Structure 1
Amino acid sequence: MAVVAAKDAQDWLIEKIAHRLGVDQSEVSPERFFDELDLDSTEALILAGELENWLGFELGTTALWYHPTIKDLALFIAEESSQRADAA
């Protein structure tokens, strides 16, 4: 299993969120809170599923609660990815 860097996770999230919102990637700040991004619950679930497919592992249901910005979630993903790679 390859380790996902925080920068790669952040870039992935920004690209997907910008696409879903129909805006340029430069308009999606990594410091913005997910609840400020105008994603409805269906879009958020789809995004979470795509993220888990990309990562190759499931994120906990509380991941967005405890890591409420793109930057925070990207750092968490990198940490999780590293721990999973070390355990493999």
Structure 2
Amino acid sequence: MTATQSQSDTRIPTDIADWLTERVASYLDTDADSIDRDLPLAEYGLDSVYALSLCGDIEDTLGLVVEPTLAWDYPTVTAMAEFLRAEVGA
């Protein structure tokens, strides 16, 4: 870790979409390869409890504070990953 690199930078996954896909798959107790990144998460049966859990995972892993409506504002893995990449880069 360089002197200018914060400790939180070391936690950020290289590919946020891959990380999100893995998280969703773990909630569904399935393989990440079965997750269509462009299918709304609600189609997988992920409800508000899972959405809040995902927000907590995002906050813990990426160091971002996100609204509990994140899964409704960005309903697919692809959309959410694009939003989060922009937030991490800001």
Into which bin does the TM-score normalised by the smaller protein fall? 0.7 to 0.9
Aligned residue in 2 for 1:20: 27
Q: Identity percentage over the alignment?
A: 32
Cα distance in 1 between the residues matched to 2:26 and 2:70: 22
Cα distance in 1 between the residues matched to 2:63 and 2:46: 23
Q: Which has the larger radius of gyration?
A: 2
Q: With a CA cutoff of 8 Å and minimum separation of 6, indicate the structure with the bigger relative contact order.
A: 1
Runs of 4+ in 1 over 3 A off after TM superposition: none
Aligned residue in 2 for 1:86: none
- Report the aligned-residue RMSD: 2.1
Tell me the TM-score normalised to structure 1 length.
0.78
Read off the aligned partner of 2:55 and give its amino acid letter. A
Match of 1:79 among 73, 83, 86: 86
Matched, 1:50 2:57: yes
Q: Structure 1 stretches of 5 or more lacking a match?
A: 84-88
Which is further off, 25-34 or 7-16?
7-16
Read off the aligned partner of 1:72 and give its amino acid letter. A
Q: Structure 2 stretches of 5 or more lacking a match?
A: 1-5
Cα distance in 1 between the residues matched to 2:80 and 2:40: 10
